[in-house]
Amino acid sequence: GQQVMQIPQYQHVQEGEDFTTYCNSSTTLSNIQWYKQRPGGHPVFLIQLVKSGEVKKQKRLTFQFGEAKKNSSLHITATQTTDVGTYFCAISSGSARQLTFGSGTQLTVLP
Amino acid sequence: KAGVTQTPRYLIKTRGQQVTLSCSPISGHRSVSWYQQTPGQGLQFLFEYFSETQRNKGNFPGRFSGRQFSNSRSEMNVSTLELGDSALYLCASSLRVAGGMYNEQFFGPGTRLTVL
């Protein structure tokens, strides 16, 4: 089945620094979703990207879908302690009605 | 609108036993998916149910099964438990659009299963 590689696995930043996590696939994706899971919590949907080269913003979060629809990134500007958690990308493709999650990037924000 | 609920929240079983987990989706959501989350394997898709039928299945042994009722509530069952089945089991519901792509998943709080 389809797989997606997510890097980095861990990221520690000082509060106020920026953060980026990347997801890469060897095959063309129909869409990609991003989720955030707080420590001890459950994944919460952030956004879905569908179009080639799409860029979406949610306050300090910027999501991008590559031109070839094989990669995506999530960028957080000026991190805050509330950004702590694990960020996952998730893919589905074609008629496969199942989500394959990346391994996640665990973000720690140091005050 | 109430969120996805899962019961029980915590469960301790011993090897060889079986377990049944329950999930109530958001009202109006007819698609229910189950995921297993472990530190080593991450989030892995188990299966999806829609209109009381299993529509998709992940790469798990037959010991993992599920069902969905007419009110969209779903249960998953794991028989002959193994130590490696210890995990957080997450249920997610979504609005399923015929022929459409996968919609956002609304996750429940999960059931933490420990197998001793």
DSSP class of residue B28 equals T
> Higher confidence at residue A9 or residue A3?
A9
Search chain B and give the residue with CA nearest A103.
Answer: B42
Instruction: Look at residues A71, A91, A64, A89 and name the one whose alpha carbon lies nearest to residue A26.
Output: A71
pLDDT band at A107 (very low <50, low <70, confident <90, very high): very high
Q: How far is CA B102 from CA A8, A46, B15, in A?
A: 26, 14, 35
Task: Reply yes or no on whether the pLDDT at A94 is more than 60.
Answer: no
Answer yes or no: is pLDDT of A64 > 60.
yes
Tokens of A65: 């879908």
- Say whether pLDDT at B99 is over 70: no
B56 interface with A at CB cutoff 8 Å: yes
Q: How far apart are CA A52 and CA A31, in angstroms?
A: 9
Q: Does A94 reach chain B within 8 Å, measured CB to CB?
A: no
Q: Which residues pair with A51 in a beta bridge?
A: none
What pLDDT shows up at residue A93? 61
pLDDT of the residue at A108: 98
CB contact A24 to B (< 8 Å): no
Name the pLDDT band for B100 (thresholds 50, 70, 90). low
The whole-number pLDDT of residue B66 equals 97
C-alpha to C-alpha distance for A65 and A81, rounded to whole angstroms: 26
CA distance B20 to B42: 22
Joined tokens for residue A103: 């391994």
Q: How large is the average pLDDT for residues B44-53?
A: 92
> What confidence score (pLDDT) does residue B56 get?
86
Across the interface, do A97 and B44 touch by the CB < 8 Å criterion? no
Q: Which residue out of B9, B32, B33, B43 would a mutagenesis test of the A interface target, given it has the greatest number of A Cβ atoms within 10 Å?
A: B43
Report DSSP state, residue B95.
Answer: P
User: pLDDT tens, A10-58?
Assistant: 999 999 999 999 999 999 988 999 999 999 999 999 999 999 999 999 9
Contacts with A98 from chain B: Cβ below 8 Å? 33, 45, 48, 56, 58, 102
Q: Is B106 on the interface with A (CB under 8 A)?
A: yes
Under 8 Å between Cβ of B67 and B91: no
Query: Where do we find the tokens 């913003």?
Result: A57
Give the model confidence (pLDDT) of B1-27 as tens digits: 789 999 999 999 999 999 999 999 999
Q: What is the average pLDDT across A58-62?
A: 98
User: What is the number of H-type helices and E-type strands within chain A?
Assistant: 0, 11
Output the furthest CA–CA distance in chain B (Å, rounded).
43
Contact B48 A104 (CB under 8 A): no
